[in-house]
Structure 1
Amino acid sequence: MVPSYIQKSSKNMPQHIKDRTNLQHFIDISIRLTTEKEPQLLLDEILQVVMSIANSDAGSIYSITEDDQLKFETVINKSLNLYLGGGSDRFVSFPNIDLYIDGKPNQRAIVAHAVNSGKVINIPDVYAALPFDMSAAREMDARTGYRTQSMLTIPLKDHQDDILGVIQLINVKDSNNNIIPFSEELVTLIRSFASLGAIALTNSSLIKEMEELFSTFAETIAMAIDEKSPHTGGHCKRVPALTLMLADAVNAISKGPLASFSMSDSDRHQLDIAGWLHDCGKIATPDHIMEKATKLETIFDRISFIDAKFEIISRDLKINYQEQIISAMKNGKPVEVQQLERLLDTELKQVALDRALLQRINVGGEFLGDKELAQIERIAQHYHLVINDVKTPLLNDDEVENLSIRRGTLTAGEHDVMKRHMDVTKNILDALPFPKHLSKVSEYALGHHEKLDGTGYPRGLTKEQMSIPARLMAITDIFEALSAVDRPYKKAKPVSECLFILGTMVEKNHLDPDIFAVFIESGVYKNYISEYANPEQLDDVDLNNLPGYKPIR
């Protein structure tokens, strides 16, 4: 049904009342430019206003698609009692109109011609002899049983003179209900309203483009970091995915301490951006630390140097013993020769064992105990090389420090360098002039290394100082790292072990127990592993003995 608003035209109003009414319409729509979030609804209202002002029988709004077509957004026809699209609940089924046919401007449709030429087209009678091909209008009339006569087509242009859409009015009527042409005065008035519609479309387009630009920028930064570190290549992509999965689960929970939590679309969007930017500071982390897959790796893995030094030690042992064996043989001491050969064999075997031990320790895949630390110290003190008459230990202090790393591949100093990525992340995010609707991105992104007891970094916040989304990101960041299948220095952990480690951190008051419970009971971890990791990691989890987990009640 045609909106009742435009059924009441201003044709019989005194002129001064018409002018005052038109001005009020203009003011109202101008105000709506700053509040209406759906530009098509505002265009729909503008169409109704100009139809009322002009006493037009029909009108349409068209948008321009990415594939160079004009799409009907709103169609209103009072004679046919027709209202499609726009603010109605009825879909516009009319086919799109091509702007170009066989690579040439479409001459069969006035709206296409208006867009291609960028000109306002005012036609007194579309059935009269015209310099336009009106076959499309005639075909539409034949399809609807309508008679199109006067027509006004106005392209909507943005600040760069690009055309965003079209408003078209049909069959303006006088006070006696006779169809008449659109006067120049009326065209000027309608164009002023149409310009407001163009502003609405421009504002919406600019906002959308800026949102897309920033989102793409965030994803590109994450992609650059992943490219910089192939060993953690998918981390910056997987963390936002897992974060949103858990956030949706927390938002959906209807019982327990988190039942009152709700997340708007804006909050979810900010959390997504935060997920992409959470490690942006790693772009400043040195490659040899980011890429440190073994304990002795710098720009290259120094285990090869130690292998070479072991080769020298083995060679020197052989030379030394061979000299003693030759001397014993010359002196006719066969028993001493046999003893020396046995000693040589024993020492060479020990060299091979110690060499293999350091190769294994260098990988850093398992926790290093006191026994291994003692063996490293023994090797460092026992073996020496003589180069240019200078006695040099097999392992220097830096090599001993790196080999003595108890867990992982980073020394305490390198951990500090890695932790600096959060300071850099904070500096980057603090420097970005986030608009109001993205004001929480920084807080969310910086929360993934904080701990509830205040011992985290970069700001040392406690639970009370962090929002739920910020606390949530800490769990997703750690779970992704534990379950990742693309780390060269460790095997992908089974889910039971990942959850056990998370639960232990919950017990230490590092992670939020309520969010951890949602993570478990919602099955988010299962869905994530199935989609982003290896389903074979999904082993049985004994919830009764899982530390840190308490069922939601």
Structure 2
Amino acid sequence: MEKKNKMVILAVDDEPLNLDLLELAFAENTGVEFLRAKNGKEALEILDSGKDVDVILLDLSMPVMNGFETLKVLKSNEKFRYIPVIVITANAEEKKKALSLGANDFIPKPFDIEEIKLRTKNYVDIKHYNDFLRNVTTILEEQVKERTKQLQEALKLSKELEYEIALKLGKTAEFRDIETGMHIMRVSHGSKKLAELYGLPKEEQELILYASPLHDVGKVGIPDSILLKPERLTPEEFEIMKQHTIIGAKILDGGEKYPVLKAGKIIALQHHERWDGKGYPYGLKGEEIHIYGRIVAIVDVFDALISPRVYKPAFPLEKAIEIMREGKGTQFDPELLDLFLNNIESFLKIKERFSDKDEKNEGLDSRG
């Protein structure tokens, strides 16, 4: 930062002789620029012209605009309020009033040349130091804004990257089941929508959007003979299928410092738990099941009902809704299910948007 070397003094007095004496006092100093004004109006015009004044030597008794009026304007103006003002007057009674209006110092007339030179220099030094501090503060504030912007952009990129990874992980299971198509995208956006309807904070809505694609990641550990079996599973096979929740949680284990992986683990483990406690893998009941698991359970089952699978055709919408209603308070959280069914059109739009017949919809898209 460039240091200011010149001292700019503005003297304001209606007596030309007083201005001459003041100018003469600083004449031997080549580093001084001396400005003159015969009243407050002229002084303000000089300041408004853009002159970077370091100190003002101000008389109080002047025509047009006196010193008191000038002080009021100076100290109420953000641009000029930090300029030190030394009042020079023969009337000592006016000292308190001038100081109360913001004058920094007071020198009686007739003034001592050496005293006014020393006091002026001291106030100029203080002014330069305060200017430096304000400049540094401004620079730091700008740097903080820039760093904050960079951090926000980095966080946004990080979240998008986490979502992309979640999608890729989710598809490791999907690619083994050619009929699930855009299932994870519909579950992702449907879960966000239900979280929004439930009133979860926007941060959690976004988190469930990013984490729900991981709900079936554990299917990578299920044999093809079971995962792709076109007939109904035997009880033994179903017990093996249930393990995809445990496998998914193990895959995502250790990611506690990553919000998406942490939420994904919860969802993978709990999205087959039931409200009545008859789900798997742990038989959690009611609100023992995390809200993320309860939300994804509804969206996941509905999409499975209205989509074709290797073991069944797609159910008609009316039949799917009937099955969902039958699960109210047993399989599904009743409050969440009501929200879902009362807003079914929103979820059907998501179904249409991410249709299995339109693979170009596939990819990163975090819109609700």
Specify if TM > 0.5: yes
After TM superposition, the structure 1 = structure 2 runs for residues 73-472 of structure 1, keeping only pairs within 5 Å, are 195-248=143-196, 250-251=197-198, 262-292=199-229, 294=230, 364=231, 408=232, 410-435=233-258, 440-472=263-295
CA deviation string 1:209-235 (max 9, x = no partner): 222211111112123322222122322
Count of aligned residue pairs for this structure pair: 242
Residue 322 of structure 2: SS of its match in structure 1?
A: helix
2:297 is aligned with 1:474: yes
* 1:501 matched residue in structure 2: 323
Instruction: Name 1:116's counterpart in structure 2.
Output: none
CA contact (8 A) 2:270 2:293 kept: yes
Letter in 2 for 1:288: S
- The separation in 2 between residues aligned to 1:498 and 1:461, in whole angstroms, is 25
Contact 1:10 1:18 survives alignment (8 Å)? no
Deviation at 1:484, TM superposition (A): 0.6
| Structure 1 residue identity aligned to 2:150 | T
Q: Residues 182 and 355 of structure 2 are in contact (CA less than 8 Å); yes or no, is this contact kept in structure 1?
A: no
3-state SS of 1:213 partner: helix
Percent of paired sites with the same residue: 26
1: CA distance between counterparts of 2:135 and 2:248? 49
Cα offset, 1:20, TM superposition: 5.8
Q: How large is the Cα RMSD of the aligned pairs?
A: 3.3
1:449–1:22 distance in 2 versus 1, CA, 3 Å: farther
Letter in 1 for 2:219: K
For residues 277-311 of structure 1, the C-alpha deviation after alignment (integer angstroms, 9 at most, x for no partner) is: 1112222222332222x3xxxxxxxxxxxxxxxxx
Asked whether the equivalents of residues 285 and 417 of structure 1 are also in contact (C-alpha less than 8 Å), the reply is: yes
Greater CA deviation, 211-220 or 521-530? 521-530
Tell me how far apart the structure 2 counterparts of residues 503 and 532 of structure 1 sit (CA, whole Å). 24
CA-CA distance at 1:15 after TM superposition = 4.1
Query: Residue 175 of structure 2 aligns to a residue in which SS?
Result: helix
Distance 1:230 1:194, change over 3 A: same
Q: Kindly provide the amino acid, as one letter, of the partner of residue 495 in structure 1.
A: L
Q: List per-residue Cα deviations over 1:354-380 (Å, max 9, x = no partner).
A: xxxxxxxxxx3xxxxxxxxxxxxxxxx
**Aligned residues of 1:274 and 1:445 also touching (Cα < 8 A):** no
Residues 384-421 of structure 1, C-alpha deviations (whole Å, 9 max, x = no match): xxxxxxxxxxxxxxxxxxxxxxxx2x222222222111
Determine helix, strand or coil for the equivalent of 2:281.
coil
In the other structure, the counterpart of 2:30 is none
Distance in 1 separating the partners of 2:184 and 2:79: 56
Change (3 A) 1:219 1:195: same
Deviation readout 1:2-29 (Å, 9 max, x if unpaired): xx99746867675446546755886xx7
Give the AA of the match of 1:265: K
Aligned counterparts of 1:202 and 1:447: Cα–Cα separation in 2: 36
- 8 A contact 2:163–2:210 mirrored in 1: yes
Structure 1 stretch 5-14 or stretch 474-483: which is displaced more? 5-14
Quote the residue 1:513 is aligned against: 334
When structure 1 is superposed on structure 2, of 269-278 and 230-239 the one drifting more is: 230-239
Q: Distance in 2 between matches of 1:283 and 1:22?
A: 63
**How many angstroms apart in 1 are the aligned matches of 2:259 and 2:175?**
31
Change (3 A) 1:439 1:282: closer
CA distance in 2, matches of 1:5, 1:211: 46
For 1:437 and 1:9, locate their aligned partners in 2 and report how far apart those are by CA, in whole Å: 52
TM-score, length-normalised on structure 2? 0.56
CA distance 1:440–1:224, change in 2 (3 Å): closer
SS where residue 263 of structure 1 aligns?
coil
Structure 1's 457 and 193: CA in aligned 2 closer, same or farther, altered over 3 A?
A: same
Deviations 1:432-463 (A, max 9, x none): 13346986454345331111122222332211
1:485-500 correspondence to structure 2 within 5 Å:
485=308, 487-500=309-322
Please, which runs of 5 or more residues in structure 2 have no aligned partner? 1-75, 85-122, 357-368
User: What amino acid is aligned across from residue 512 of structure 1 in structure 2?
Assistant: D
Amino acid at match of 1:503: R
CA-to-partner distance for each residue in 1:125-169, whole Å, 9 max, x for gaps? Answer: xxxxxxxxxxxxxxxxxxxxxxxxxxxxxxxxxxxxxxxxxxxxx
The answer as to 2:344 corresponding to 1:523 is yes
- Taking structure 1 as the reference length, the TM-score comes to 0.39
Structure 1: gaps of 5 or more residues: 30-48, 51-191, 252-261, 295-363, 365-407, 535-553
From the superposition, tell whether residues 6 and 282 of structure 1 become closer, same or farther in structure 2 (CA, over 3 Å): farther
Q: 1:484 touches 1:533 (CA, 8 Å); kept in 2? A: no
C-alpha contact (below 8 Å) 2:217/2:268 kept by paired residues? no
Answer with 230-239 or 7-16: which moved more.
7-16
How far apart, CA to CA, are the structure 2 residues paired with 1:290 and 1:411? 12
Equivalent residues of 1:223, 1:237 under 8 A apart: no
State the distance in 2 between where 1:10 and 1:441 align: 57
Q: Is the 8 A contact 1:239 1:275 kept in 2?
A: yes
